[in-house]
Amino acid sequence: MQPQRDLIIVGAGAAGLSAAVYALEERLDTLVIEEMAAGGQSLVVNELINYPGFPNPVSGVDFSMRMEMQARNLGVEILNTSVISLERNGSGFVMETAKGTMEARAIILATGSKPKQLEVPGEKEFSGRGVSYCATCDGPFFKNRRITVVGSGDSACDEALYLSGLSERISIVHRGETMSARLGLVEKVEKNPHIRRFPYSEIIRIQGQQKLHSVTLKDEKTGEICEHETDALFVFIGSVPRTELAMGARKDRHGKLLTNEKMETSIPGLFAAGEVRNTPFRQIVVAAGEGAVAARSAAEYIDSRALH
């Protein structure tokens, strides 16, 4: 078992890396654990245009690389491994990872969320064979092909706009008449000649042979069923918070961790920041701010325990 750390942060997205930078300022012995690549949800953003300090649009990948570089340059230690379990151990926590057992006085969960699935027949079978949850990752494989996007929020609109630069045959399928994305994004989608909207529509089946060939649409108003041919389906219908390590901490009805203004969960010493908590506004800048608050709160918690 490794020596006990002051703080372990799980997740190296905007929330986790921001927390790490502020934890260093608090002189906390800090470790960041990331299962995949640093950046989190920032990696799938096509163009980031609303983060302070960037006068020109920046790709999510570039932004993520800058965040990671800044953190490492300041001395943040990032370990690439997966966390298997997290438990209370006296006044601290013990964490089992693929690279051994670790202990910490406090934990910040910045684990983010994972894409929500449609849960319709054919989705699992064609995942990776036409069904995807990341346009910037898989979009280039379908250049000049028929592409369908499902969803009506910011992510669906943003990714549809990105995909419209790869193909002139983009469809957006969404329930209801209007889209729920920010007005500016919706206007861009509606003005884009390469994007066609399918309102009041629901995908009820995905089919093909070796690869995806079509999806079955159901009209919410008439109940009419039709087949919509497509070579790729990109799903952006929301996300599921990754709370597997939360040890029974209180959650809201959507499964997100409940915290107070200090990012404290219902378990002393366990903090949460970013999309894993019940944040009122899912934005990168918000996640970064929450990470900073969580780091400061973790430092206060550690100091208070040292006084007893």
Per-residue pLDDT reduced to its tens digit, 89-141: 888 999 999 999 999 999 999 999 988 999 999 999 999 899 999 888 889 99
pLDDT at 136: 81
Is residue 247 located within the same domain as residue 225? no
Q: Report DSSP letters for 271-303, one per residue.
A: EE-GGGB--SS--HHHHHHHHHHHHHHHHHHHH
The answer to whether residues 72 and 12 touch, using CB atoms and an 8 Å cutoff, is no
Other CB atoms within 10 Å distance of the CB of residue 304: 10
**187 and 205: one domain?**
yes
What's the predicted TM-score (pTM) here?
A: 0.82
Identify the three-state secondary structure at position 217.
strand
Shared-domain flag, residues 28 and 90: yes
Percentage of residues in the chain having pLDDT higher than 70: 99
Residues 112, 241, 84, 285, Cα dihedral to 10°: 10
Task: Examine the domain organization and report whether 219 and 185 are in the same domain.
Answer: yes
What is the torsion angle, in degrees rounded to the nearest 10, for the CA atoms of residue 179, residue 180, residue 186 and residue 189? -50
Instruction: Identify the domain boundary among 216, 235, 254.
Output: 235
Find all residues with CB under 8 Å of 153, minimum gap 6, and list them. Answer: 179, 180, 181, 236, 237, 238
Q: What is the pLDDT of residue 28?
A: 97
d(CA 179, CA 260): 31
How do strand 83-89 and strand 92-97 relate by DSSP bridges? antiparallel
Mean pLDDT by 10 residues, the chain (308 residues): 89 97 96 92 80 89 94 96 93 94 97 93 94 89 96 93 96 95 94 97 95 95 95 94 93 94 97 93 91 98 82
Same-domain pairing of 60 and 94: yes
Residue 128 and residue 206 share a domain: yes
Asked if residue 247 and residue 109 are part of one domain, the reply reads: yes
What span, in angstroms and rounded, lies between the C-alpha atoms of 273 and 203? Answer: 33
Say yes or no: 107 and 121 in one domain: no
Cα→Cα distances 38→3, 183, 194, 307, Å: 24, 30, 33, 35
Q: Is 87 helix (H, G, I), strand (E, B) or coil?
A: strand
The answer on 226 and 123 residing in a single domain is yes
Range of the domain at 61: 5-114+239-307
Which string of b and e fits 122-151 if b means at least 16 CB within 10 Å?
bbeebbeebbbbebbebbeebeeebbbbbb
Name 30's bridge partners.
7
Our count of domains for the chain comes to: 2
Instruction: State the CATH number of the domain containing residue 177.
Output: 3.50.50.60
Per-residue pLDDT reduced to its tens digit, 188-211: 999 999 999 999 999 999 999 989
Sign for the pseudo-dihedral over CA of 36, 39, 42, 44: negative
Out of 174, 200, 235, pick the residue that ends a domain: 235
- The Cα 80–Cα 78 span in angstroms is 7
Cα-Cα end-to-end distance for the chain: 25
- 248 shares a domain with 110: yes
Strand partners, 195: 170
